[in-house]
């Protein structure tokens, strides 16, 4: 068969089709190039923002609130690490977390809430954050972590812990659940104790890993610790003694303040009733008040030594003067002022020792109201202490244009004005320190500030030695005596004011200093509304003074009066040889 000769034909290209395809391809490349140029050069902000929203994050460094310590470094308030349990309702619903019923029941059991209430908190899928419980312990947090519930997460936080509990509750105070101070030192010095978390800008990938550190947004600021002037050993002794006495006498409340007369430092400040700041479920507002600085009382006879200083300074009497109190009573403005019996002519020291109202009235009536008020102000009454404690009251020193004789008379034995226990303690510290007043402080200072001579030294020293007789034989404060030490002080018993006059409730006070030979400590004990037959300051407050002051003198290693240094050291060595049980 004859093969036909085959010829290879070349394909023919149509010119317009080729050009069209090339034009479309070029146009597409040009469009892509133009779009890329627009996105990256002309208008990159939007997509850059979209990318940053998906990758940029701000990390916050952990912070710790500052500690509160006593003068010896013992911790009174510390922060401990805990965890907060929170949920992402949107994630809970998206990943069908609620279908794990047993795990949710276990979560409800460990948190101590009903499962239905727990589920109600995450029933809105539009929400992204809700707390399930704050401040859970690390053990509970680890248990929750092992449940592996989708949408349930943990975040670190802090909880404030108070090792001394109710002993320092009023003074140290406490914080709320967010770590902000709401009472006491915690509130008054909140900014100083609070740290500021540092922030860093980072870029994360889709798994949450940091792939780029973009730098610091804000620097962290470390919290500051606070060291108080309180001696926890004396504080614990004072609280135990005051609580026992207030419960025995069924007092509505009681307060105790102890000062170092040489520095103006507060060594102890306690109140009853108290509360446990670690147990918020039993918190009651009336228990949280620091009554030593917030509550005011008419000081009664504890004011008499201050009036005697005023009389000495203004030349009304001399330290060895005799004042005639006969016939033991008088009427002023229709009111009767009297002693329990006619004491006749007695010395100024006996006026204090026997707490003679008539003797005080005889002196006060010879002074002008301005002289009396000026003396009280110089002792620190009616003014703020400057310590920065929450709710501190200035008390009330009366200011009148016209004074009647009965108003001057009642002022002389402690009625018609109000003071806080802290103010009264400062006044006795002035007497103990030869008329020098130091600024009070509850924050430990590096050095003692300059004191101010507010009353003449000789008059303060004269009254100080008169106060020793009050605690001695024949005085009204025999229960305040401490074996081996010379003690000075003054009892006071004032009736509580009610509408239209005075009621049947009393306030029993004792204010004193020790030791007389070289005064170091001043203390005030106030027993508010003691019940029963015993309500005088010498009966309800003086024994507390004796117990606490005796312990404080020993704890501070203050030598007894009359003992030589060698005898004191030998006694201390013998005491250390006695085995403790």
Active-site annotation, residues: 301
* Half-sphere exposure in the Cβ direction for 352 (13 Å, CA): 28
Nearest residue to 431 (alpha-carbon basis) of 398, 397, 396, 466: 466
What is the chain's length?
581
Q: Is 296 exposed, middle or buried (0-12, 13-18, 19+ CB in 10 A)?
A: middle
CA dist 133 → 85, 138, 167, 282, 542 (Å): 5, 13, 29, 19, 49
> Tokens representing 501?
């006059």
CA-CA distance, 86 to 149, in Å (whole number)?
11
| Dihedral angle computed from the Cα positions of residues 427, 431, 435 and 439, in that order, rounded to the nearest 10 degrees | -40
CA-CA distance, 49 to 252, in Å (whole number)?
65
Q: Coil, strand or helix: which one is 202?
A: strand
* Residue with the two structure tokens 């030869």: 434
CA-CA distance, 406 to 410, in Å (whole number)?
6
> Tokens representing 131?
């707390």
CA-CA distance, 269 to 256, in Å (whole number)?
6
10 Å Cβ neighbour count for 253? 18
* 304-313 vs 357-364: helix crossing angle, rounded to 10: 40
Query: Are 553 and 521 in contact, with CB atoms under 8 Å apart?
Result: yes
Query: Are 565 and 571 in contact, with CB atoms under 8 Å apart?
Result: no
Q: What is the DSSP code (8-state) at residue 40?
A: I
Nearest residue to 256 (alpha-carbon basis) of 335, 171, 331, 139: 171
Cβ contacts of residue 152 below 8 Å, gap of 6+? 85, 86, 87, 92, 97, 107, 132, 144
The secondary structure of 496-530, three-state, reads EEECCEEEEEEEEEEEEEECCCCCCEEEEEEEECC
> Tokens representing 230?
């309180």
Q: Coil, strand or helix: which one is 375?
A: helix
The β-bridge partners of 271 are: 255
């Amino acid at each position: 068969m004859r093969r036909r000769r085959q010829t290879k034909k070349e394909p023919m290209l149509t010119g317009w089709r080729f050009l069209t395809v090339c034009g479309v391809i070029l146009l597409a490349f040009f469009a892509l190039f133009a779009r890329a140029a627009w996105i990256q050069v002309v208008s990159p902000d939007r997509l850059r923002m979209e990318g940053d929203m998906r990758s940029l994050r701000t990390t916050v460094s952990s912070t710790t609130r500052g500690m509160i310590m006593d003068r010896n470094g013992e911790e009174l308030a510390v922060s401990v690490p805990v965890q907060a349990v929170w949920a992402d309702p949107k994630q809970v619903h998206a990943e069908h977390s609620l279908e794990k019923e047993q795990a949710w029941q276990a979560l409800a059991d460990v948190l101590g809430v009903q499962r239905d209430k727990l589920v109600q908190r995450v029933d809105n899928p539009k929400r992204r954050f809700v707390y399930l419980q704050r401040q859970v312990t690390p053990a509970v947090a680890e248990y929750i972590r092992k449940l592996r519930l989708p949408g349930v997460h943990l975040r670190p936080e802090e909880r404030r812990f108070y090792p001394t509990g109710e002993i320092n509750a009023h003074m140290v105070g406490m914080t709320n659940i967010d770590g902000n101070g709401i009472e006491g030192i915690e509130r008054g010095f909140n900014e100083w104790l609070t740290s500021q978390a540092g922030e860093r800008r980072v870029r994360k990938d889709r798994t949450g890993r940091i792939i780029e550190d973009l730098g610091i947004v804000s620097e962290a600021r470390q919290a500051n610790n606070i060291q108080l002037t309180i001696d926890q050993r004396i504080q614990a002794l004072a609280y135990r003694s005051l609580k026992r006495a207030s419960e025995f006498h069924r007092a509505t409340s009681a307060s105790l303040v102890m000062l170092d007369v040489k520095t103006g430092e507060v060594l102890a400040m306690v109140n009853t009733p108290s509360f446990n700041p670690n147990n918020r479920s039993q918190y009651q507002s009336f228990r949280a008040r620091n009554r030593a600085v917030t509550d005011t009382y008419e000081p009664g006879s504890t004011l008499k030594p201050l009036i005697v200083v005023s009389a000495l300074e203004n030349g009304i009497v001399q330290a060895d003067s005799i004042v005639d109190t006969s016939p033991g009573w008088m009427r002023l403005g229709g009111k009767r002022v009297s002693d329990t019996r006619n004491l006749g002519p007695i010395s100024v020291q006996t006026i204090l020792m026997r707490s003679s109202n008539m003797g005080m009235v005889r002196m006060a009536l010879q002074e002008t109201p301005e002289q009396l008020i000026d003396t009280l102000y110089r002792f620190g009454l009616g003014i703020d202490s400057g310590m920065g404690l929450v709710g501190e009251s200035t008390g009330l020193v009366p200011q009148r244009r016209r004074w009647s004789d009965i108003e001057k008379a009642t002022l002389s034995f402690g009625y018609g004005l109000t003071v806080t226990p802290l103010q009264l303690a400062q006044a006795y510290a002035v007497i103990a320190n030869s008329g020098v007043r130091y600024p009070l402080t509850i924050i430990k200072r590096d050095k003692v500030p300059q004191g101010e001579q507010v009353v003449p030294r000789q008059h303060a020293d004269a009254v100080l030695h008169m106060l020793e007789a009050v605690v001695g034989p024949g005085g009204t404060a025999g229960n305040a005596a401490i074996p081996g030490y010379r003690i000075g002080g003054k009892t006071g018993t004032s009736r509580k004011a009610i509408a239209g006059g005075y009621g049947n409730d009393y306030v029993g006070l004792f204010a004193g200093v020790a030791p007389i030979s070289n005064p170091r400590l001043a203390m005030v004990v106030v027993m508010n509304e003691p019940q029963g037959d015993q309500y005088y300051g010498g009966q309800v407050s003086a024994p507390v003074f004796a117990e606490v002051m005796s312990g404080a003198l020993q704890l501070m290693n203050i030598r007894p009066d009359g003992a030589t240094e060698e005898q004191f050291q030998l006694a201390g060595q013998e005491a250390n040889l006695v085995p403790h049980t």
